[in-house]
Amino acid sequence: MNHRPALTLRLIVAAVATALVVDPLVFAQSTPARTTEEVTAALAAGKPAPKAFTQQDFDELLAPIALYPDALLAQILMASTYPLEVVEAARWQKANASLKDKALEEALKKQTWDDSVKALAAVPQVLTMMNEKLDWTTKLGDAFLADQEKVLKTAQALRKKADEAGNLKSSKEMVVKKETENNVQIIKIEQPAPETVYVPTYNPATAYGTWWYAAPPPYYYYPPGYVYGGAGLAFASGVFWGAAIAGGIGWGNNEININRNTNINTGNRNNIQGGNKWQHNPEHRKGAAYRDSGTAQKYNKGGDRAASQSRDQFRGRAEQGRSELSSMDRGQLNDRVGQADRASGSRDFGGSDRASAGSRDMGGSGSRGGDFWFARKAVGKENLSC
């Protein structure tokens, strides 16, 4: 009795199983899932933790914008945590500079950026500043994510300095109010007309009186055409942003509050938690790295879960394929390889058709062809008969 065919068949099955195990793609996708803490620890290994923000850091970062109207300041703080979307929006705004008022508002509804970024697209002066001063924007976002309370308290402290220096007064462009919230004296800056915003321009080194650090504020921005006019505030023409206004600041609680009714809203806003309290949405981060491992761990959990689920699903399909192959006889193996050829739409598994045929897709439609691509890789394109 000739046992050669049976022996050959066993060798083929062994080769197929080996290919399933050692193929680089399989190896990469079947790496055991690690917890967020393990990934964070691995990334942080050997890297010194960044220094904590000092009060001087907060003062320097907030000085260029602390005297902006509350609603505009809120947009800047939220949008600064999404620096890549700021860049995208700045490019889009430049390419669509002819859009104004309602036409711009309608066009922005079609974009997928965070609503705070959309709101700033209606205020080119601010969006341009954040795009051109991206280092400042990124650091501001990092500081806001690290200590939102300190950021808002710093803005209030700077406003009080500007008020004491005589440089913060109500005008036709803004309304300055002194109120008490939660037993704390605060200064609000509001627009005379909610649908129109005036962006102040000022010198951070003089607007708050004598600057109290050895070096002047390192961050500032003067729009084209601005002429220095002393320590006070200068204003350009008002900008219509209508429904782009997205809430304001709860100074008494040191929180950003979202106004759902007056916000550009496509129905997909998902960074509102606990009523109207704003929460950072990592989906709009677009892969931009966080400043430290603690922040990354706090906001990157969703992506880690998705990756873990994908690996688990792949391992399940791979194990099922091994089980099926080990139980097949020679005729069944031939039939399955033929099915793989027909599913891929080509018998050439070595060229560019392989990628377009989706033969590495382990779970989509026509997935049986993908399941048995490894068999063809292990034994070539010859017939499996012995």
pLDDT for the residue numbered 265: 36
Instruction: List, for the chain, all residue ranges whose pLDDT scores fall below the cut of 50.
Output: 20-32, 36-37, 39-41, 43-45, 244, 260-274, 301-312, 314-315, 344-386
- pLDDT given at position 344: 43
> Of 176, 204, 173, which Cα lies nearest the Cα of 188?
176
pLDDT at 358: 37
Helix (H, G, I), strand (E, B) or coil at 305: helix
State residue 6 phi and psi, 5-degree precision: -65, -40
pLDDT at 164: 97
Closest CA to 86 of 107, 114, 67, 58: 114
Q: Locate 66 and state its tokens.
A: 């602390």
Q: How far apart are CA 237 and CA 240, in angstroms?
A: 10
193 vs 171: CA distance, rounded Å: 12
Q: Is the pTM of this model over 0.75?
A: no
- Helical (H) or strand (E) element with 184: strand 184-190
Contact (Cβ atoms closer than 8 angstroms) between residue 226 and residue 234:
yes
pLDDT of residue 194: 84
pLDDT at position 361 is: 38
Among left, alpha and beta (phi > 0; psi -120 to 50; other), residue 225 is left
Render pLDDT for 289-333 as a digit per residue (tens, 0 to 9). Answer: 999 988 998 887 444 444 444 444 544 555 565 566 556 665 665
Question: Can you tell me the distance from the alpha carbon of 63 to that of 212, in angstroms, rounded to the nearest whole number?
Answer: 12
User: How much is the pLDDT for 310?
Assistant: 45
Residue-level pLDDT at 371:
38
pLDDT of residue 100: 87
